[in-house]
Amino acid sequence: MTTDLESPLEWVKNPNARSLERSPAVSAILPPGIAQAARGFHRQIPGYRTTPLKGLGNLAAMLGLGGIWVKDESVRLNISSFKVLGGSFAIYRQARRTLGLSDDRKISFSELTSPEMREHLGNLTFATATDGNHGRGVAWAAKALGLKAFIYVHSGTSRARIRAIEEFGARVTVVKGTYDDAVRQVAEDAAREGWQIISDTSWKGYEEIPSWIMQGYTTLFSEAQEQLAGQGLIRPTHLFMQAGVGALAATGIGYYHMLFGKEAPISVVVEPLHANCLLRSARAADGEPHNMAGALDTIMAGLACGEPSPIAWKILWDCADVFMACPDYVAAKGMRVYGIPLAGDPPVISGESGAVTLGALMFIMESPHGAVLREQLGLGPDSQVLLVNSEGNTDPEYFRRVAWEGVNPVPPEFLYEPPAGRS
Ligand SMILES: Cc1ncc(COP(=O)(O)O)c(C=O)c1O
Residue range 106-135, pLDDT digits in tens: 888 899 899 988 899 988 999 999 988 999
Kindly give, in sequence order, each residue whose CB lies less than 8 Å from that of residue 156, ignoring residues fewer than 6 positions away: 178, 301, 304
Q: Using a pLDDT cut of 70, give the percent of the chain over it.
A: 98
CA dist 360 to 166, 281, 415, Å? 33, 20, 14
What backbone torsions phi and psi does residue 342 show, to the nearest 5 degrees? -65, 150
Do 173 and 279 lie in one domain? The reply is no
Helix (H, G, I), strand (E, B) or coil at 393: coil
Residue 17 domain boundaries: 10-81+214-414
pLDDT for 10 equals: 95
From the candidates 131, 200, 321, 328, give the one annotated as an active-site residue. Answer: 131
Closest CA to 240 of 414, 84, 359: 359
Of the residues 186, 208, 230, the one at which a domain ends: 208
**What's the domain count of the chain?**
2
Atom number in ligand 1 closest to CA 305:
9
Closest CA to 363 of 333, 322, 392, 404: 333
**What is the rounded CA–CA span in Å between residue 232 and residue 214?**
27
Whether residue 320 is contained in a domain is answered as yes
Do 56 and 89 lie in one domain? The reply is no
**97-101, 274-278, 314-318: least confidently modelled range:** 97-101
Helix (H, G, I), strand (E, B) or coil at 380: coil
What 170-174 contacts at long range (C-beta under 8 Å, 24+ apart), as own/partner pairs, is 170/135, 170/138, 170/139, 170/142, 170/143, 172/135
Whether residue 269 is contained in a domain is answered as yes
Instruction: Give helix then strand counts, H and E, for the chain.
Output: 17, 11
Do 277 and 336 lie in one domain? The reply is yes
Confidence of residue 3 (pLDDT cuts 50, 70, 90): very low
* C-alpha 300 – ligand 1 centre gap (Å): 9
Is the pLDDT reported for residue 421 higher than 70?
no
Amino acid at 106: K
Do 177 and 279 lie in one domain? The reply is no
Determine whether the shortest distance from the Cβ of 300 to ligand 1 is under 6 A. no
Do 272 and 332 lie in one domain? The reply is yes
**What is the rounded CA–CA span in Å between residue 59 and residue 358?**
11
Of the residues 173, 208, 243, the one at which a domain ends: 208
Is 4 labeled as catalytic in the residue annotation? no
**What is the rounded CA–CA span in Å between residue 175 and residue 154?**
5
Do 183 and 222 lie in one domain? The reply is no
Whether residue 3 is contained in a domain is answered as no
Do 129 and 268 lie in one domain? The reply is no
* C-alpha 346 – ligand 1 centre gap (Å): 24
Do 204 and 221 lie in one domain? The reply is no
Determine whether the shortest distance from the Cβ of 74 to ligand 1 is under 6 A. no
Nearest CA to ligand 1 atom 10: 247
Nearest CA to ligand 1 atom 5: 302
Whether residue 2 is contained in a domain is answered as no
Mean of pLDDT values over 69-76: 98
Do 238 and 325 lie in one domain? The reply is yes
Closest CA to 341 of 133, 81, 72, 160: 72
Kindly give, in sequence order, each residue whose CB lies less than 8 Å from that of residue 14, ignoring residues fewer than 6 positions away: 282, 316, 317, 320, 321, 322, 323
Determine whether the shortest distance from the Cβ of 246 to ligand 1 is under 6 A. yes
Do 313 and 390 lie in one domain? The reply is yes
**What is the rounded CA–CA span in Å between residue 245 and residue 303?**
7
Determine whether the shortest distance from the Cβ of 272 to ligand 1 is under 6 A. no
Q: Are 305 and 296 in contact (CB under 8 A)?
A: yes
Q: Are 114 and 145 in contact (CB under 8 A)?
A: no
Determine whether the shortest distance from the Cβ of 350 to ligand 1 is under 6 A. no
From the candidates 83, 180, 333, 395, give the one annotated as an active-site residue. Answer: 83
Q: pLDDT digit string (tens) for 26-38?
A: 999 999 999 999 9
Is the pLDDT reported for residue 172 higher than 80?
yes
CB atoms within 10 A of CB 188: 9
Whether residue 293 is contained in a domain is answered as yes
**What is the rounded CA–CA span in Å between residue 217 and residue 403?**
28
Do 407 and 285 lie in one domain? The reply is yes
Whether residue 99 is contained in a domain is answered as yes
What is the CA 127 to chain-centroid distance, rounded? 20
Do 327 and 356 lie in one domain? The reply is yes
Confidence of residue 279 (pLDDT cuts 50, 70, 90): very high
Atom number in ligand 1 closest to CA 247:
10
Confidence of residue 5 (pLDDT cuts 50, 70, 90): low
Of the residues 158, 192, 208, the one at which a domain ends: 208
Q: Which of 75, 76, 133, 153 to mutate to test the pocket of ligand 1 (most atoms within 8 A of CB)?
A: 133
Mean of pLDDT values over 303-317: 97
Nearest CA to ligand 1 atom 2: 302
Whether residue 421 is contained in a domain is answered as no
Amino acid at 232: G
CATH number of the structural domain spanning residue 183: 3.40.50.1100
* C-alpha 1 – ligand 1 centre gap (Å): 34
Is 131 labeled as catalytic in the residue annotation? yes
Look at phi and psi of residue 205 and say left if phi exceeds 0, alpha if psi is from -120 to 50, else beta: left
Strand segments (E) across 256-348 = 266-272, 322-326
Whether residue 302 is contained in a domain is answered as yes
pLDDT for 4 equals: 44
Q: Are 128 and 186 in contact (CB under 8 A)?
A: yes
**What is the rounded CA–CA span in Å between residue 106 and residue 112?**
10
Q: pLDDT digit string (tens) for 204-237?
A: 999 999 999 999 999 999 999 999 999 999 999 9
